[in-house]
Chain A
Amino acid sequence: MSGGWIVSYAELIIRLRWLVILGSVALAVALGSGGQFLGFSTDYRVFFGKENPQLKAFESMQQIYTKDDNILFVLQPRDGEVFTPEMLGAIRELTEASWQLPFSRRVDSITNFQHSYAQGDDLTVEDLVPARAGLTTEKIAAIRATALGEPLLINRLIAPDARTTGVNVTLTLPGESESEVPVAMAAAREIVEAFRERHPDITVAVTGLVALNNAFSEASFADLATLIPIMYGIIIAGLLIFLRSIAGTIATLLVVGLSAGTAMGLTGWLGINLTPPSSTAPTIILTLAVADSIHLLVTLLHAMRQGASKREAIIESLRVNFNPIFLTSLTTAIGFLSLNFSDAPPFRDLGNITAMGVIAAWIYSVSFLPAFLAVVPLRVKRQTTGSNDLMQRLAEFVLRRRQPLLYGMTALVIALAVWIPRIELNDQFVNYFDPSIQFRTDTDFAMENLSGIYQIEFSLPAAAEGGISEPEYLTKVDAFSDWLREQPGVVHVQTITDIFRRLNKNMHGDDPDWYRLPDERNLAAQYLLLFEMSLPYGLDLNNQINVDKSSLRFLATLENMTTREARVLKQNSEAWIAANIPASVTEATSPFVMFAYISERNIISMLTGTGLALVLISLSLIIALRSLRVGLLSIIPNVIPAVMAFGIWGLLVGEIGLASSVVAATSLGIIVDDSVHFLSKYLRARRERGASPEDAVRYAFATVGRALSVTSAVLVAGFGTLALSAFELNQSLGLLTALAIFAALVADFLLLPPLLLAIDKEKKHADEPKALPQAGE
């Protein structure tokens, strides 16, 4: 391909340079103005596609009972004892204030716990810590004993050591606007602020699902605010060092800036809300867009250093790079677009935004960049010899040691691959957040001092309407809650059978012998009626009993367990129910359960996506390189970097979450660029110059070796930057991709040439070698 039309195109760009510059900027501004519509998602549910079975199970549970989100205030007095008059007063105060939280529907604390007790035939139901109670020492001792002995409170709202307590606010978010969560959270923080001022000696932490949701938008925002400036810094430093051209550096910065701006603007126009994964898109786009410019600039500056005029150099650079840049942009876009197979919408967004950015970068690189360079003054020092000594030596080394390298690299890949099965999938969503996010530290505090944050829920249907009062049913579900309490990692089980027991005791003059389940259906039903009649607003049982009293909801609170342990617990619980209460077969659910399966589901869904990306990318290569053999061969250096990266991860880290599912696809689209550039130069030498395979390898090293090292360095630095993200998924995604990119460079330099030489041997005789011009031309 001599690229006659590309030369004409390049000349046209140079002639219309001002128009191209203005047109590019105008396009970027028009599209980029969509950035004003960008919003941050504030709902953990965005991680689950509409068809996700765990989400569906959870939503149906919420439909039957109540749709709850919560804010949990965790309180710990410095003096180490919750049951003091001051502390109880403070809890009452916070409980009262919490009713004012937007969207709140219910507030639970040890002070407003509905304590019931009997005196003869009088039954009293009142707050455990009544408003105007004289809190004498005896009264406080009684309150303490009740709270610590109450199965509904202990390990949930009061720690067994009585050092830490909680005020749990249940909210029903209408789900009409993304601002609901930040509004509720801001109000909660205001309450806490005021509370801390009045009670400086009480430690307060804020957690719960609303805090979690809010943390997602905070993490997204933190990433945008910190990663992008760092990324620009890395790019500027990298470019100045490698290109040694200020004009070139400025041109590249403009290209990457315009690309990222265009993509984010389009995101805004399309109404995509940012999530922590997709908020890394601008950083990734900056990284990827740099590569296009670097390839163009390296060739251009090289030509000028060799004595070409700027105009000649621009045309030559476009001629040599137009096709490879198109191809690498295409393959990178395919890799990211394959994220649409992911089950988690944030990754689909990440893929689509990045693909838009990559396409924008390609357009600006072949239009704006040459036009801009045609306008600005570009000075280089003339160099008679190439600066590719290092690359020449590397080429000679590879050619000399091709056999040992082939075997050595194969051995290395296998040695790393065996570590992959040791990677354990874990999605403890609290750990998604870096300790720099308040939610993480507060939640860790809550888990350490009060109770778990992870929960698992069951809805146990009874035989018929009103069937929850049947003694047989109650006995069975009670046995289930007993069994559940014995399971490792279960901290607390909320079950209505505890309320039945207490009422039965109350109705028999508080005789402890009657602390047992009612043995008659009518009695249980009438207890329930009695209890419901005497509850205050918000503290009803609608969150635990369905409308026709035919099923009960159980809520188990778990300690800080891994999602593998959660999956085991879920399966064991379902198996226990199936074996012991076959009529109540049910599926355990909860946000934690949803996250427990998210990685597996995404890996399975991404297998198709990654496979399809591999096929499409290999096809693109075969077509573009016009060689089936070389195209197929390229699969090897394109696949093994991911294998090596995961192997290293298995060896050094061992645990990974959701990020793992997408790394293979995204890194494939990026690392394939190295082989595209290397192979296109190799084939150009073979075809245009009739070089021998050995000389073609030398030519490839000489022409793109340096550019590949530079782009890889920028890409590794760029994705490595994601390690600074506030969001663990992004950290893993960035580090794994950086590893894969580094592995790809190693594979392309050390494995690809020996492979090429191995398969290209017999062709040597077919293609008559012609006189070879000097390498490095």
Chain B
Amino acid sequence: MRMNRKLFLKLENNKVLLAVTLVMLAAASTSAFGETPEEKGLAIAEEVDRRDLGFGDSSSLLKMELTNKQGQSSTRELRILTLEVPERAEGDKSLVVFDHPRDIEGTAFLSFTKILDPDDQWLYLPALKRVKRISSANKSGPFVGSEFAYEDLLSQEVDKYDYRWLRDEACGEAADGLACFVIERFPRYENSGYARQVTWIDQQEYRPIRIDFYDRKDSLLKTLTLSRYNQYLGQYWRADDQYMVNHQTGKTTRLTFDEWELRVGVNESDFNPNRLKRLR
């Protein structure tokens, strides 16, 4: 801003018209005076990632409530175990174990997130008593019938997207009183279900507050609102409530997290496909 004003003052004596034009250009794109919106967007995303660095591993209980347009609902319960992989070129490892409904109890899903390639995935079906490796490029389908796609829940990595900062504004209802960065991100991996996402990140703690998902034809598809944040280990923020509304079908899914624990001390060997059978 200061540079702006200086430039303006310097030109004031000369051609006002040119100055106005330049200032307008400057407002439209800050490129002449520092970072581009793309750089700023990426910087914010990196800061989000940086602040979450070093959590080591986490575990949580998760209740998933699916509701259709008529208000009929159904719940699923699962546990998620995440192992942080510090290298930026590699994604985290996640293990999902289903507890409820009874007929899928003990079903375990293990994934090693990749940045741009299809993730490595294994599934253990207790009824079949076998571990199956799943080869699929699809990450965009509904996660257990919910409004969350697999790609919304797991496998969030900085380098999966290109970014662009849009504007700063109040975070809105979900985080009253906080100011947010609004950045746009464009999936770089193939087979994403989205053309882009618009995310609201609070400027104080760099937590995602809201995400708007746009489908492949760039129509607003879903809105995710994250709330009831708690801080763990004096640093890491986790939302206990994640609410997804599908604007096109009227269906909703609420994720309620419970018993967040960080640095519980799991290690690589817990994420071995061959050990899926012994989980319970």
Contact = CB atoms under 8 A, between A and B. Distances in A.
Interface centre among A125, A126, A536 (most CB of B within 10 A): A536
A117 to B, nearest CB: 10
Given A101-B217, A125-B136, A466 B142 contact: no
Interface in A493-550: 507, 520-527, 529-530, 532-542, 545-549
Interface stretch (B45-53, B68-76, B167-175, B261-269): B68-76
A530 B132 contact: yes
Contacts of B68: 63-64, 546-547
B12 to A, nearest CB: 49
A104 B248 CA distance: 10
A529 B150 CA distance: 12
Interface string A700-743: 00000000000000000000000000000000000000000000
B127 A536 contact: no
Interface stretch (B55-63, B100-108, B224-232): B100-108
B103 A521 contact: yes
A68 to B, nearest CB: 10
Interface centre among A125, A469, A526, A546 (most CB of B within 10 A): A526
A105 interface: yes
Nearest to A127: B137
Contact of B72 (A100, A535, A546): A546
A539 B72 CA distance: 22
Interface string A165-178: 00000001010000
A67 B68 CA distance: 12
B133 A122 contact: yes
Nearest to B217: A100
A388 interface: no
B134 A125 contact: yes
Contact of A123 (B134, B138, B216): B134
Nearest to A118: B132
Nearest to B149: A537
A482 interface: no
Interface size range on B against A: 35 or more
Contact of A535 (B107, B132, B138): B138
B69 to A, nearest CB: 6
A523 B133 contact: no
Contact of A529 (B67, B69, B104, B121): B104
Contacts, number: 150
B75 to A, nearest CB: 9
Interface centre among B68, B103, B127 (most CB of A within 10 A): B103
Contact of A533 (B66, B123, B126, B127): B123
Contact of A124 (B101, B136, B248): B136
Nearest to A531: B141
Contact of B135 (A64, A101, A102, A124): A124
Given A101-B217, A536-B191, A121 B142 contact: no
A546 B74 CA distance: 10
Contact of A540 (B104, B133, B141, B217): B141
A97 to B, nearest CB: 10
A465 B145 contact: no
A66 interface: yes
A99 B217 contact: yes
Contacts of A105: 215, 248-249
A468 to B, nearest CB: 10
Contacts of B142: 532, 535, 540, 542
Contacts of A465: 74, 101
A99 B216 contact: yes
Nearest to B247: A174
A219 B67 CA distance: 40
B109 interface: yes
Nearest to B138: A536
Interface in A105-157: 105, 114, 121-126
B77 to A, nearest CB: 13
A532 B144 contact: yes
B141 A539 contact: yes
B134 A534 contact: yes
A650 B116 CA distance: 69
Given A533-B109, A536-B191, A539-B141, A526 B74 contact: no
Tell me the interface secondary structure of chain A in the complex: loop
B143 interface: yes
Contact of B101 (A67, A123, A466, A538): A466
Interface in B251-270: 251
A579 B133 CA distance: 43
Interface in B68-120: 68-70, 72-74, 98, 101-105, 107, 109
Nearest to A121: B132
A102 B219 contact: yes
Interface in A454-484: 465-466, 469
A532 B127 contact: no
A485 B280 CA distance: 43
B31 interface: no
A771 to B, nearest CB: 82
Nearest to A467: B103
Nearest to B133: A122
Given A534-B141, A547-B68, A523 B128 contact: yes
B138 A534 contact: yes
Interface in B206-235: 215-217, 219
B188 interface: no
Contacts of A63: 68-70
B9 to A, nearest CB: 49
Contacts of A100: 216-217
B127 A538 contact: no
A529 B136 contact: no
A135 B122 CA distance: 29
Given A507-B132, A526-B127, A546-B68, A469 B137 contact: no
Contacts of A533: 109, 121, 123, 134, 141, 143-144, 150
Interface centre among B98, B107, B126 (most CB of A within 10 A): B107
A536 B130 contact: no
Nearest to B248: A172
A456 B105 CA distance: 36
Contact of A525 (B72, B74, B104, B215): B104
A525 B101 CA distance: 9
A507 B127 CA distance: 11
A540 B149 CA distance: 11
Given A100-B216, A507-B130, A548-B73, 14 more contacts: A64-B68, A99-B216, A99-B217, A103-B248, A121-B132, A125-B134, A125-B136, A525-B103, A525-B127, A526-B107, A532-B143, A533-B134, A540-B145, A547-B68
16 contacts: A64-B70, A102-B219, A122-B134, A126-B137, A465-B101, A466-B102, A522-B103, A526-B126, A526-B127, A527-B125, A530-B123, A532-B143, A533-B134, A536-B141, A538-B193, A549-B145
Interface of A: 63-64, 66-67, 99-105, 114, 121-126, 172, 174, 465-466, 469, 507, 520-527, 529-530, 532-542, 545-549
Interface of B: 66-70, 72-74, 98, 101-105, 107, 109, 121, 123, 125-128, 130-138, 140-145, 149-150, 191, 193, 215-217, 219, 248-249, 251
- 5 tightest A-B CB contacts, nearest first: A537-B193, A548-B74, A537-B140, A535-B141, A525-B103
